[in-house]
């Protein structure tokens, strides 16, 4: 939330294009994200939002253009994996292991991938669960938790590796409406603490209240971007206007 125009971007996409087969999904995208900034991506289904997140997090490589994240050139495909341990991803599906407790889910990667001692991992895991307000549910299994709580565990799991950037791809889309608020509240807390975040969401309330900048994507292009105040009150692009009319 302390983003200023002078700071160097932590994410910088320059003329990034991506095709799947004969479908061009991203058409020369330019996009940057500043330290501590909360960037919210909106747009119709199929406009390329998830592909942007996957490229930023090293899960997918661009066909052309440059992708810099934390000074790592992810467009050099052999280097894309370097970023994965430094960013956190939260998806629509929580994908928790049902036979592991909340804490077990949060510590798994720390113990298996990071080779952390179990006691250290548990300490780190409890801190992460505390951050999402679930320290008292550490020994619960996913089936004993609500969908909102399960998604908060998934956020804690991502936070436990101490990422410098968090990506959220429709993190609340699978939740019953009454459970959305507890998850967006956790996300707002991270934003307040200065986490750099790129968030794909249909929650326009979240975008309005928490985004530093809103980016509207349309058919693989960044059609318009600006402050949430400006984007919602006075969209310039006809497609943005139509989209907002449908979702607001």
Residues that bind Mg ion (CB under 5 A): 49-50
Identify the residue among 34, 42, 47, 157 touching ligand ADP (CB under 6 A): 47
Catalogue the long-range contacts made by 25-31 (C-beta closer than 8 Å, 24 or more residues apart).
25/51, 25/220, 26/51, 26/52, 26/55, 26/62, 26/220, 27/219, 27/220, 27/221, 28/65, 28/221, 29/65, 29/220, 29/221, 29/222, 30/222, 31/215, 31/222
Identify the residue among 16, 38, 40, 51 touching ligand ADP (CB under 6 A): 51
Give the binding-site size for ligand ADP (rule: CB under 6 A): 11
- Burial of residue 164 (number of CB atoms within 10 Å: 0-12, 13-18, 19+): middle
In this structure, what token pair is assigned to residue 21?
A: 């087969």
- 3-state class of 173 per DSSP? coil
Rounded to the nearest 10 degrees, the angle between the axes of helix 118-131 and helix 147-159 is 130
CB under 6 A: which stretch of 47-55, 76-84, 144-152, 234-242 binds ligand ADP?
47-55
- 3-state class of 176 per DSSP? coil
Identify the residue among 10, 13, 25, 38 touching ligand ADP (CB under 6 A): 25
Closest approach of Mg ion to the CB of residue 169, in Å: 6
Closest approach of ligand ADP to the CB of residue 175, in Å: 18
Complex with ligand ADP: residue 12 or 51, whichever CB lies closer: 51
Q: Which residue is nearest to Mg ion (CB)?
A: 50
Quick check: 149 binds ligand ADP (CB under 6 A)?
Answer: no
Quick check: 19 binds ligand ADP (CB under 6 A)?
Answer: no
Complex with ligand ADP: residue 27 or 100, whichever CB lies closer: 27
Close Cβ partners of 65 (under 8 Å, ≥ 6 residues apart): 13, 14, 15, 16, 17, 28, 29, 75
Closest approach of ligand ADP to the CB of residue 62, in Å: 13
Complex with Mg ion: residue 34 or 49, whichever CB lies closer: 49
Concatenated DSSP letters of 26-42: EEEEEEEE-TT-EEEEE
Binds 80: which of Mg ion, ligand ADP, none (CB < 5-8 Å by kind): none
Closest approach of ligand ADP to the CB of residue 179, in Å: 22
Quick check: 49 binds ligand ADP (CB under 6 A)?
Answer: yes
Complex with Mg ion: residue 100 or 202, whichever CB lies closer: 202
Can you give the binding site for ligand ADP, defined by CB under 6 A?
20, 23, 25, 43, 45-51
């Amino acid at each position: 939330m302390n983003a200023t125009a002078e700071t160097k971007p932590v994410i910088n996409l320059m003329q990034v294009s991506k095709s799947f087969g004969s479908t061009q999904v991203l058409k020369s995208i330019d996009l940057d994200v500043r330290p501590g900034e909360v960037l919210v991506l909106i747009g119709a289904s199929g406009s390329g939002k998830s592909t942007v997140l996957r490229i930023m997090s090293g899960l997918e490589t661009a066909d052309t253009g440059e992708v810099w994240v934390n000074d790592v050139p992810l467009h050099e495909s052999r280097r894309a994996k370097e970023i994965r341990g430094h960013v956190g991803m939260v998806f629509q599906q929580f994908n928790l292991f049902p036979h592991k407790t909340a804490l077990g889910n949060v510590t798994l990667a720390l113990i298996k991938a990071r080779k952390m001692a179990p006691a250290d991992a548990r300490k780190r895991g409890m801190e992460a669960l505390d951050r999402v307000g679930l320290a008292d549910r550490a020994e619960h299994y996913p089936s004993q938790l609500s969908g909102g709580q399960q998604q908060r565990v998934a956020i804690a799991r991502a936070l436990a590796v101490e990422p410098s950037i968090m990506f959220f791809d429709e993190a609340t889309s699978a939740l019953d409406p009454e459970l959305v608020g507890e998850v967006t509240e956790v996300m707002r807390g991270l934003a307040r603490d200065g986490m750099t975040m790129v968030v794909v969401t249909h929650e326009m309330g979240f975008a309005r209240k928490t985004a530093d900048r809103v980016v509207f994507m349309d058919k693989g292009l960044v059609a318009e971007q600006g402050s949430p105040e400006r984007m919602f009150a006075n969209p310039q692009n006809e497609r943005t206007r139509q989209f907002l009319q449908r979702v607001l």
